[in-house]
Amino acid sequence: MPYRVRVFLVCFVPFAVLLAASFWLVQRLAQSTVRDSLRTSLRASELAIASVHAKADAQNGNFLKIAGDNAALKAGVQLLRSESRNPAARRTVEDQLRELGQHMGVDFLFVSAPNGAPLAGVVRQVGADGKTQLVPTDFASLEQGNQGLMQIGGRTFQFASVPLDVDDGNIGSLSVGEYFDFPGPATPALLMEDGKVIQSNIPNVPPAEVAAALAGCEGRAECDFRLRGVNWISVPTQVFGGRYVLRSLENVDQATGPVQSRLRNLFLVMAFGSVVIALLCSVVSSQSIVSPIAQVVSHLRNAERTGELPRFTTELSSTREIRELAESYNRAAGSVRHARENLQRAYVEFTGSLASALDARDRYTSGHSYRVSLFSCETASAMGLGPEHVERIRIGAQLHDIGKIGIADRVLQKPGKLTAEEFDMIKEHPVIGRRILEGVQGLAPYLEAVELHHENWDGTGYPKGLSGEQTPIDARIIHVSDAYDAMTSDRSYRQGMTHDEAIRILFDCAGTMFDPGIVDVFLKLPFKDAVVPQQSANHLVQAREIVAAEAR
């Protein structure tokens, strides 16, 4: 991400987050205030409803007491108990209940035995003529209770009961009730039986879904819950017989909607103005910071391409910190340039010392590393390699035999033919050389040349048995130059070959031991005057043996 964008975001984002957080907090406070107000209102309504129901219950209790003292009804109940299977006795009680119901204006009545078993009852229904009347009904499935709600024919009834006593003995009970007036959609509510929702007037939401939303409210009178993305408050309004509870509901989102809408509009206006101001300030701030830094970055990219560390002028920026940065960089760049020059000088001296240390072990190999380096550079230049690549080959060639420091003199300077065991020891010098140089970070570019300069074109070389172009070109060039100088130099065990003899062997081994393309270039170097010879199969075998022996 560009620095300009980062600076802008650092300036702008915290302000935007703060603004959004403030808006969210104010909304939450407004919602909390409205929620508390709704709770207070619901509690007040609950108390008012409870007071009204208390008065109604007292009045109904008086009516029930009068009905329970009806002598004709008691006589009928006694007859029905003694002749429970007599239809006439049942009809007598039903007629008495119908007469009481019409007088009291209730919707159902029934009598039950002391053990709670229903005996007879009537319920108000709409007749064929469209008029309502009390008709007998079967109460066999009803349970005894003093008060509460019950379901009859798919309708919910609210009822209360009074005992029927004769001569200080109980002969049963009379239950009287009315249709339960469940609130309409304008007043959200739900009816629960033993904690289960059995009826709700929330539009298009089944009771089962309401029950699932209320699952976390168990054991609490007042409850906040969320249903289909809407926040609600629920409080108990009325309890019937301990089993049924009518709960009032309030839509919090609907109640807080107008307040939130006004707050949202206010915040939108404030946010728009604040964002515009913050945007302008952020752009100006980021531009004043980024512009001089962009110039510094541009100069550094130039330095990356050219390899030269730039020097910044103090007029780069009017900002004090940027000027101090430029001055500090100029001092650091000067120190780096000076250190690099010293390191380069020390590095060149070190490589020369390593090569000289190796050549000093044997007067016969004195100058070998220098000559191999010279031949390799001439070949690389003739192949059109760049100056940096040629320099890398030059140093790699100087170090190519550094691993022979780890080979015993009795093997390196042996006047006769090497044994197989001794030759295996000689073949270790590329690996030893790599190990010696691996500890010096600046010599990393030359490790492959040192380790792989005895790999053959056909894969018969060592230490890895690489073939063709698997071997880096640095090592392939040094391989040819090394073989030529070894063959043309005097050794303790033989006289050096003539130039023509060495050239013939290189030619014969091209395509097997040596890269044929490199040999072709080597043969055409200006200081080589030999005529290119014809290759022979017998001479090729002899040439391979001679070059292999020159490893030392």
CA dist., res. 474 & res. 476, Å (int): 6
Residue 79: Cβ-neighbour burial (10 angstroms; 0-12, 13-18, 19+): middle
CA dist., res. 58 & res. 35, Å (int): 34
Structure tokens at 68: 């329970």
pTM for the model: 0.43
- DSSP string over 338-356: HHHHHHHHHHHHHHHHHHH
- pLDDT at 12 (0 to 100): 65
Residue 343: Cβ-neighbour burial (10 angstroms; 0-12, 13-18, 19+): exposed
CB 20 within 8 A of CB 270: no
- pLDDT at 511 (0 to 100): 92
What is the end-to-end Cα distance of the chain in Å, rounded?
58
Distance (Å) of CA 339 to CA 333, 343, 432: 10, 6, 30
CB 425 within 8 A of CB 458: no
Q: Please name the helix (run of DSSP H) or strand (run of DSSP E) that holds residue 180, with its range, or none.
A: none
| Strand order from edge to edge, sheet including 147-152 | 132-136, 118-126, 108-112, 169-179, 155-166, 147-152
Running along the chain, 552 residues long, what does each successive block of 10 average in pLDDT? 61 70 70 67 60 54 72 84 83 86 82 83 81 77 57 74 83 83 76 80 84 79 82 79 77 73 72 74 67 70 68 64 73 76 69 68 70 93 94 90 84 80 89 86 86 94 93 95 87 78 91 94 72 42 53 52
